[in-house]
Structure 1
Amino acid sequence: YVFFVQTNHTRKELLFLMFKEINLRNHSSLHKLFYSLSASDLVRNFLLMSLNSENQAYLYKEYWIKIEQFFTTNVFTEFLRHYLIMKTHNLVKRNKVYDTYKNYFHTHNLDSEAALADLYKFARFYNEMLNCNTESSEFNKILRHVNVMESKVIYPYFLMLLEMRQNSEIDWDKLIELAHIMESYLFRLKVCRHATNGVNRIVIALCDKDKAKSDLQKNEIYKLNNSFPDDSDLKNSLLEVNLYKQRNNLAKLALVVLEENRTRETINFDNAQVEHIMPQRLNNDWRLEVKNADKINEQLGGTIGNLTLTMYNQEMSNKTFSDKKEYYSKSNVSLTREIPERYDQWNKDTILDRTKDLSNELCQIFAKPDIKSEEAEDIAGEHTINEEVDVTGKKPVRITLNDRDYSIDSWRSALVIFLNYVWAIDSRNFEKIRQDDSLDMKLFSHFTRPAVLANNIRVETNHSATTIIAIISKIADLCDISDQVKYTIK
């Protein structure tokens, strides 16, 4: 067991010295020490441990120490995970980063210097995305919005696009166009409170650029088609949802984007403050000025129509709208300054009116691409189980499990073969499946077309193609074998 150590030891590298105090025959202690290291430490040691001291020192100084300066330990591991997702087109869990990297290294016949040079290139991209300081101010603006939404799940795709731009495969205009579609998709998902757990599968599919057949935009639009909220969804949500209480500062982000769209200037997100026009806590003056003020505030107080921005610390507290208008008219924020110009009073009708106007504007800013105008993509061929693919009406011809191919003629047979495989690798997997209520209901009850597995367990197979793919995908995630499962359709 060899661990790379520099002369000037970091705290983590000093773990190496602890080996002097450990009986190396005590494999339990050694195992615990080894896995107390972070994924980034393990990858570093893996890349450098087989080299002589001269090459170790050179590569450490030339690449690794520069990468290390970009990130904290946790961010470093997340970078490696996103890097591997981009490279392998498979889901990579945090606890599998090191094992996945070793497998990627050997599969692609890499050497340490080539591997480190590639990691350094993408670490620079990743650092630029984290800090929103790429060469493009427009892309930086998109990155700021994505980071506020805490949607770094799309970073693997952006890493791929940045490399393509560097290699002159696309220009900045195309990269920004593609990134903005993803930004709009994420914003709509979050405002509409739709599930976002499928985004990682879409990203995995998008990172396989060969399947895009040189038309990245068409490929991206097709992959987003099924789950992209439309204008009516977005407008209804903005009318009904208390945006102010949603996670990820969604209300503030929406207001900042609206202001940026008006002024074409970048707003300092940290300095901006959200102002409730009708305040969160009403006093008697508001109740006298607005009929049914409490009810209106409960229903609409947190919607976009009752919110605006201030860029200063002027405390307007719970002053009435009559008093606030003077402050608003002097605001350096156009979004706020226009309020007294348009409205003489503040009540339910004015809040709804402003909500509709701002909703229309947000629909244009975070536009949904015209998916119907795009020709349907030919999805024939092999797909990973995590890909977002519409298999309705498609015929399966093969399922691949851990690189072994099984010929199939139906989705039903795909399910049976997969479940037999899951049992064969570890019978305890069925305990995990039975503990999941939705899987238990789909597979082990209400039999109409059951099949008997190799273990003599009956399972229901009368499901649509989409449902069977969802079942297989969920079980693969539960059993941590998603990277072993692929299928082919014609």
Structure 2
Amino acid sequence: MLSTGQIGPNGTEFLVVDGQQRLTTLSILIAAMRDHYAETEPDDLAQVARLEETFLVDRFKQGDARLKLLPTQADRPAYRSIIAGTIDHSTPSGLVEAYRFFRTKLRLADDPDDPHDMPRIEGAVLNGLVFVAITAKGDDNVYRIFESLNNTGMKLTQGDLLRNYLFMRAGERGDEVYETWWLPMQKLLSPSDLEALFWIDLIWRSPDSKAGDIYSGQVERLRHLDQEQVLDEVKRFKRLAELFAIYRDPSLERDERVARQLRRVKSWGIGSMDVLVLFWLRLRDDGVIDDADVADALHVIESFLVRRIIIGAPANSLPKIFNRAVTELGETPSVDGLRRYFTVGRKFFATDAQVTEAVLTKPFYYQGRPNQRKTVLAWLEEATPITFLGKERVGKEFADVSATSIEHVMPQTLSPTWRDSIASQTDDRSVDEVHEELLHTLANLTLTAYNSELSNRPFVEKRELLESSGLRLNREIAARQTWGPDAILERGRVLAERIVTMKRPGIRGGPDSPRG
């Protein structure tokens, strides 16, 4: 399957969308047949020239322009050496292994006493295979056509297609592009992240683009550019890849506040958020904003996510919200503008009053995904003040909760001791009613590595383990003598206050009006 032909200095060139391995393998087999003829019939070089000039090279051209098939950059050195007959057998290569395999099989199949062996093999290779070529038109989405035809084998990603298109446009500078910009980019990001990068770049311009439009959308933009402009785009992609790598591994970030915020938003595991996070890193890289702005913007994003999960807002609207943010922010994006964007319309940036009510009444244990619930509790752990030199202050370290799980302080299954304890703390409601109402609320949850040990033990026993915990959240709970409806509601109000006040200076919202 071929893309629309691209007219270049060496004639019309086609990008192979599907069938690269088959064409490459077939070319290597023909090269092996050529060299077998040269070895077994040295006096008849016409056979050699016929195979070489018909299928492998154009003798009137120079360099890579001679090659009728040009593999991707990683395979080019080995392929060039096979076609030129200058193979370095000490260098590991799948292409060279295939060539050696075919040479061995041809020697075994060619009986010196039977002059018909090689003509029969050649006839099978050149005439016995059905060659079907599908050439796309200019307005075709070749990746979607490829997907509909190809359901087996190794999937070709849209990132692969875009890479091949860019190298075709780079022409004779393809090797330079590969070594200087593309290969370092491939080392920085996984194939899926590289494809995500091209999609993010497309979303910044066209927020309604679909995931299947990456290749067609980028090519539609790039085809209007000349070669130098295409090379500038490759350089730009390389820089974006470096920024994306920082987001994927915040330890690469030079600013402590930004690194901390990157770790926090990354822990949510929300892929659609990448569009917005990379945008703010790019703005800083372009000199439009500084480190403090990036940290504040990431904090606003995190506050948005925390408030949404607290009130139980649906997650399926997040991709659309994040995708449209960049274009909605306009030509002068700012942190205040980002917060205003989140608070306008039905984006569920919960108000302080909505957060407080939800903390006290909603079953947080069932909100969002398990890792996101842990992230909120880790966020609250960081927001829990510590006493230092007689003063309370919020900690600055990222809470590592990887070895913990969520624990219900008032257990899911009440023992007789627990039932008696709760009954003694309530007058007009049944134990079961109180249990059902408060069991899964945020205030009755914490993080611990001793989930199985705590189970439904009496609170007096739980207190001992929680008191020795390294988490401040647990030590706060252990400071109480009893645990029941009053303690849970009191803790809920404390946690709600921490959630609504954990904002950077200067980016607090306006009036506390409904935004859901």
TMscore range, shorter length: 0.5 to 0.7
Partner residue, 2:367 = 246
Q: Deviations over 1:229-286 (max 9, x none)?
A: 1011111222222212222333322221122123322111313332221122332332
Percent identity over the alignment is 21
Which whole-Å CA distance do the structure 1 matches of 2:279 and 2:256 have between them?
19
AA partner of residue 281 (structure 2): L
| 1:235 paired residue among 350, 356, 372 | 356
Task: Give the stretch that moved more between structures: 227-236 or 56-65.
Answer: 56-65
Which whole-Å CA distance do the structure 2 matches of 1:11 and 1:145 have between them?
42
| 1:277 paired residue among 397, 400, 409 | 409
| 2:485 paired residue among 348, 367, 388 | 348
SS class of match (1:150): coil
Instruction: Describe how 1:113-262 pairs up with structure 2 within 5 A.
Output: 113-133=231-251, 134-208=253-327, 211-212=330-331, 214=332, 216-226=334-344, 227=347, 228-248=349-369, 249-261=371-383, 262=385
Partner residue, 2:207 = 90
Which whole-Å CA distance do the structure 2 matches of 1:71 and 1:12 have between them?
23
Partner residue, 2:194 = 76
Which whole-Å CA distance do the structure 1 matches of 2:350 and 2:129 have between them?
58
Partner residue, 1:309 = 447
Whether the 8 Å CA contact 1:89–1:207 is kept in 2: the answer is no
Which whole-Å CA distance do the structure 1 matches of 2:231 and 2:213 have between them?
23
Which whole-Å CA distance do the structure 2 matches of 1:370 and 1:175 have between them?
16
Partner residue, 1:333 = 471
Alpha-carbon offset, residue 316 of structure 1: 1.9
AA partner of residue 2 (structure 1): L
Instruction: Describe how 1:353-432 pairs up with structure 2 within 5 A.
Output: 353-365=490-502, 369-372=507-510
Which whole-Å CA distance do the structure 2 matches of 1:288 and 1:188 have between them?
35
Whether the 8 Å CA contact 1:311–1:332 is kept in 2: the answer is no
Which whole-Å CA distance do the structure 2 matches of 1:293 and 1:210 have between them?
51
How many residues matched? 366
Alpha-carbon offset, residue 74 of structure 1: 2.9
Whether the 8 Å CA contact 2:335–2:507 is kept in 1: the answer is no
AA partner of residue 456 (structure 2): N
SS class of match (1:229): coil
Which whole-Å CA distance do the structure 2 matches of 1:210 and 1:221 have between them?
10
TM score, norm. by length of structure 1: 0.66
| 1:66 paired residue among 178, 184, 195 | 184
Partner residue, 2:438 = 300
Which whole-Å CA distance do the structure 2 matches of 1:240 and 1:82 have between them?
38
1:2 and 2:9 aligned: no
Partner residue, 1:27 = 134
Which whole-Å CA distance do the structure 2 matches of 1:71 and 1:322 have between them?
50
Computing the radius of gyration from Cα coordinates, the structure with the larger value is 2
SS class of match (1:100): helix
Aligned CA distance change for structure 1 residues 118 and 209 (closer, same or farther; 3 Å): farther
SS class of match (1:361): helix
Which whole-Å CA distance do the structure 2 matches of 1:140 and 1:177 have between them?
12
TM score, norm. by length of structure 2: 0.63
Whether the 8 Å CA contact 1:192–1:229 is kept in 2: the answer is yes
Whether the 8 Å CA contact 2:265–2:298 is kept in 1: the answer is no
Partner residue, 1:264 = 396
Which whole-Å CA distance do the structure 1 matches of 2:184 and 2:456 have between them?
52
Q: Deviations over 1:311-368 (max 9, x none)?
A: 5678222211011112222222111112232x21111111111111111111111589
Partner residue, 2:219 = 102
Q: Deviations over 1:410-441 (max 9, x none)?
A: xxxxxxxxxxxxxxxxxxxxxxxxxxxxxxxx
AA partner of residue 162 (structure 2): V
Aligned CA distance change for structure 1 residues 182 and 91 (closer, same or farther; 3 Å): same
Alpha-carbon offset, residue 180 of structure 1: 1.2
Task: Give the stretch that moved more between structures: 274-283 or 362-371.
Answer: 362-371
Which whole-Å CA distance do the structure 2 matches of 1:197 and 1:318 have between them?
35
Task: Give the stretch that moved more between structures: 346-355 or 218-227.
Answer: 218-227
Alpha-carbon offset, residue 128 of structure 1: 1.4
Aligned CA distance change for structure 1 residues 250 and 172 (closer, same or farther; 3 Å): same
AA partner of residue 97 (structure 1): I
Which whole-Å CA distance do the structure 1 matches of 2:433 and 2:376 have between them?
25
Which whole-Å CA distance do the structure 1 matches of 2:453 and 2:182 have between them?
49
Gaps of 5+ in 2: 1-13, 17-70, 80-91, 100-124, 137-141, 386-394, 424-429, 512-516
Which whole-Å CA distance do the structure 1 matches of 2:318 and 2:94 have between them?
34
Which whole-Å CA distance do the structure 1 matches of 2:93 and 2:304 have between them?
42
Which whole-Å CA distance do the structure 1 matches of 2:381 and 2:222 have between them?
47
Partner residue, 1:466 = none
AA partner of residue 15 (structure 2): V
Aligned CA distance change for structure 1 residues 11 and 69 (closer, same or farther; 3 Å): farther
Aligned CA distance change for structure 1 residues 269 and 68 (closer, same or farther; 3 Å): farther
Alpha-carbon offset, residue 143 of structure 1: 2.5
For the aligned residue pairs, the C-alpha RMSD in angstroms reads: 3.5
Which whole-Å CA distance do the structure 2 matches of 1:118 and 1:366 have between them?
33
Whether the 8 Å CA contact 1:231–1:363 is kept in 2: the answer is yes
Partner residue, 2:165 = 46
Which whole-Å CA distance do the structure 1 matches of 2:294 and 2:328 have between them?
14
AA partner of residue 239 (structure 1): L
Which whole-Å CA distance do the structure 2 matches of 1:178 and 1:324 have between them?
39
Gaps of 5+ in 1: 374-490
Which whole-Å CA distance do the structure 1 matches of 2:250 and 2:221 have between them?
29
